[in-house]
Structures are given as structure tokens and as C-alpha cells.
């Protein structure tokens, strides 16, 4: 079940889509989880695991009442291989009629964060959930493929996981996962000993509060020092909880914006680079997010958010050479 190793060329935008190395994983039955994806070798963070087009998308649906018939028509027009792969996918709603719709409901991912079109995938749709996942996935509109990247070191024999739902304390996450996906989460951070569970839950709750405060436009404009303190506190939580998913990239972007708004080119450039590194790890260097942000690593002042005030004016030359220790930390967070 491993993907092939060739390089495919997208004719319309000229982008070369690197394909995952062969033999990275196998699809296997896992007790109490149905099928799942198991690493067949040690995998390093940033490794492309999967890049694949959808088997079928909801774009074929013309109206709600005709959903099942529309899917049946589209499936019939597909190759035998696609039909087999689609029909073998997990169905969470067995016996509830509309089997094709139910397969979509059980396995679908949106084709882009704000897209109302969903797709099901031969490999990605086999990946089970963990609240502390070791992989990250997303739709790449430039490649017209769904990609999955390793975001942590994964050992041979370890299950490859994605997060179906993020945030909040364990009880809340479990409730959502049960309701939407029909399983009881037994991931590493939902089965901690009680005192560690409480500490982890408290961090998740605080993370949500800080995230909301960081997004407050008025504070960003008039009290950016406070926003940076919140960003620093949130970064500490992400480190303690070992979050490696897109929340980290978003936080880097938030710090970039705060610094850039107040003309701090040095720190803005640093955080633009951190954002690019995080996006490269979760979506590759051919992801839209990485490509769009890359120019601002060298020229943050070209970004729309630059220079609302010149209160923190700085130059790229001011980034310290030594990037660890107390002096660096104080510089980084403007303390
Ligand atoms: C997209 S499918 C994942 C692949 C699926 N296990 C299969 O057999 O093809 C989603 C379903 O897998 C199962 N699942 C996913 N993560 C799980 C987990 N951590 N524990 C138990 N079941 C899980 C649930 O039934 C869920 O609705």
C-alpha cells in the first residue's frame, strides 16, 4: 500500500510534485480501531508521507435529495480500482441506508480550510485519530492533491495519526470524538495518570484563552507588549504539550504580525522564518502558505500589515547572532 516514488509534473502550473518515498507505511488492522496506518520504518519530521488526489468528491452532488444517486453515478463512471478503494473505506453508519453518503460522512475531508467541497482518500482516510498526532494533513490546491507530512519523529511499528479535532480539555475532546466519529479516544494524552491529565487539561484551557486574547485587534494595536507576553505564554504551553501541528505555525504568524505592525522588522523577519519552517513541516515547501510567506522573511516591510505604527522600528541587522539563552529570550519577546 505504499505510494510510488516518481516525480509527477502538474502541467497547468508547472509545479513538480515530489512523491513520497516507497515503503514508508503499511495499512493494517488495529484492535478496536478498524484499519490504520503503521510506519514501516523510522520517519523524520517533515517527511512527505502521502500525496494523493481524492477518490471521489462531493462536487458531484447536485442537490441534497439526490446525494446518493449523484454519488452512485460518479462512482459508476470511475475506474474499477477507484470503485473498489471507495467501497472498501470505513462506514460508521452501517445499516442506516445511503451507504455511499455514509462512506463520505465517515471519511471525508474538506478540500481546503474554507472549502465546502469534501473528498475521500484511499490512504489518508485510513489514518486514525490522536489528540497528539504525529502527522498533519491538508489540501494543496497547487498540486490538486491532499498531502500528509510527519510532524514528529515516528518509529518503525508506530501508528501514524492525525487529529480529527483539536483543543479543549480531554473530557471535551472525547465527547466531540464520540459524537462525531463514534469512538472513545485512548490516545497518549487522554490516558494520562489523573494528576498529569489535570495539568495537561489546564494547559489546553489556558491555551484557548490566550489564543483568543492574542486575536484581539485593539490590543494588538494599542497594547502590543501585552500581546507578546500572551504569545510567549502560549509558546511555552505548545512546548510543554509538544504541539507540532498548525497551531504552532499560526502562533508564529501572530507574533510576526504584531511585530510587523509596529515596524519591528528584525523580529518580524525571524517569526516569518519560524512560520515558514512550521509550514514546510506540515505542508511542504510547495504549500501555498509557505510560498506566500517566504518573501517576507527577507522583506517583512512588503507585507500588508507592516508599519501601522513605527513604535518598535528595527532593522534586520539587529537580529542577535546567538539564538539561545536568556539574552536571546529577552530580545525575542521584547522584555
Ligand atoms: C477516517 S476513518 C479512519 C480509518 C478507519 N479506522 C478504517 O478502518 O478505515 C475514521 C474512523 O476510524 C475509527 N477511529 C479513528 N481513530 C480512532 C481511534 N483513535 N480509536 C478508535 N477508533 C478510531 C473510528 O471508527 C472513526 O470513525
CA-closest candidate to residue 47, choices 129, 135, 127:
135
Q: Would you state the pLDDT for residue 15? A: 65
**Alpha-carbon distances of 250 from 116, 147, 245, rounded to whole Å:** 22, 19, 9
Per-residue pLDDT at 104 exceeds 90: yes
Residues 3-40 have pLDDT tens digits of 233 333 444 556 666 799 999 999 999 999 999 999 99
Specify whether the CB–CB gap between 90 and 99 falls below 8 A. no
**Residue 107 Cβ contacting ligand 1 at under 6 Å:** yes
Q: How many angstroms separate the CA atoms of 195 and 173, rounded?
A: 18
Q: What is the CATH number of domain 8-181?
A: 2.170.270.10
The residue extents of the domains of the chain are 8-181, 194-332
Residue 121 CA, ligand 1 centroid: distance in Å? 14
ipTM value, please give it: 0.99
Q: How far is CA 152 from the centre of its chain?
A: 13
Residues 256-309 have pLDDT tens digits of 999 999 999 999 999 999 999 999 999 999 999 999 999 999 999 999 999 999
What mean pLDDT is predicted for residues 54-79?
Answer: 96
Residues 187-205 have pLDDT tens digits of 999 999 999 999 999 999 9
Residue 179 CA, ligand 1 centroid: distance in Å? 13
pLDDT band of 1, cuts 50, 70, 90: very low
Q: Bridge partners of 119?
A: 57, 109
- Choice from 103, 183, 189, 191 to test ligand 1 binding pocket (greatest atom count within 8 A of CB): 183
Q: Would you state the pLDDT for residue 167? A: 81
**Residue 263 Cβ contacting ligand 1 at under 6 Å:** no
Atom of ligand 1 nearest to the CA of 32: 21
Residues 128-180 have pLDDT tens digits of 999 999 999 999 999 999 999 999 999 999 999 999 998 899 999 999 999 99
Amino acid at each position: 500500500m505504499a505510494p510510488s516514488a516518481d516525480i509527477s509534473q502538474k502541467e497547468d502550473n508547472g509545479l513538480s510534485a515530489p512523491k513520497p518515498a516507497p515503503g514508508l507505511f503499511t495499512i493494517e488492522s488495529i484492535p478496536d480501531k478498524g484499519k490504520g496506518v503503521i510506519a514501516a520504518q523510522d520517519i523524520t519530521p517533515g517527511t512527505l508521507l502521502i500525496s494523493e488526489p481524492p477518490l471521489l468528491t462531493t462536487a458531484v452532488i447536485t442537490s441534497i435529495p439526490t446525494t446518493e444517486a449523484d454519488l452512485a453515478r460518479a462512482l459508476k463512471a470511475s475506474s474499477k480500482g477507484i470503485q473498489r478503494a471507495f467501497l472498501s473505506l470505513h462506514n460508521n453508519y452501517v445499516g442506516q441506508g445511503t451507504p455511499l453518503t455514509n462512506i463520505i460522512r465517515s471519511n471525508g475531508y474538506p478540500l481546503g480550510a474554507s472549502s465546502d467541497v469534501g473528498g475521500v482518500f484511499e490512504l489518508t482516510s485510513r489514518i486514525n485519530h490522536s489528540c497528539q498526532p504525529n502527522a498533519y494533513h491538508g489540501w494543496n490546491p497547487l498540486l490538486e492533491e491532499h498531502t500528509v507530512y510527519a510532524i514528529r519523529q515516528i518509529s518503525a511499528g508506530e501508528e501514524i495519526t492525525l487529529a480529527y479535532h483539536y483543543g479543549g480539555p480531554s473530557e471535551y475532546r472525547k465527547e466531540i470524538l464520540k459524537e462525531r466519529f463514534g469512538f472513545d479516544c485512548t490516545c497518549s494524552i487522554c490516558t494520562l495518570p489523573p494528576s498529569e491529565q489535570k495539568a495537561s487539561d489546564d494547559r489546553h484551557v489556558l491555551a484557548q484563552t490566550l489564543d483568543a486574547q492574542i486575536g484581539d485587534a485593539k490590543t494588538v494595536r494599542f497594547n502590543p507588549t501585552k500581546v507578546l507576553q500572551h504569545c510567549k505564554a502560549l509558546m511555552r504551553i505548545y512546548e510543554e504539550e509538544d504541539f507540532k501541528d498548525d497551531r504552532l505555525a499560526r502562533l508564529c504568524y501572530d507574533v510576526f504580525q504584531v511585530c510587523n505592525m509596529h515596524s519591528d522588522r528584525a523580529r518580524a523577519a525571524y517569526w516569518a522564518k519560524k512560520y515558514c519552517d512550521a509550514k514546510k513541516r506540515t505542508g511542504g515547501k510547495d504549500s501555498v502558505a509557505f510560498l506566500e510567506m517566504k518573501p517576507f522573511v527577507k522583506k517583512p516591510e512588503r507585507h500588508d500589515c507592516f508599519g501601522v505604527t513605527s513604535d518598535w522600528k528595527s532593522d534586520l541587522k539587529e537580529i542577535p547572532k546567538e539564538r539561545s539563552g536568556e539574552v536571546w529570550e529577552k530580545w525575542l519577546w521584547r522584555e
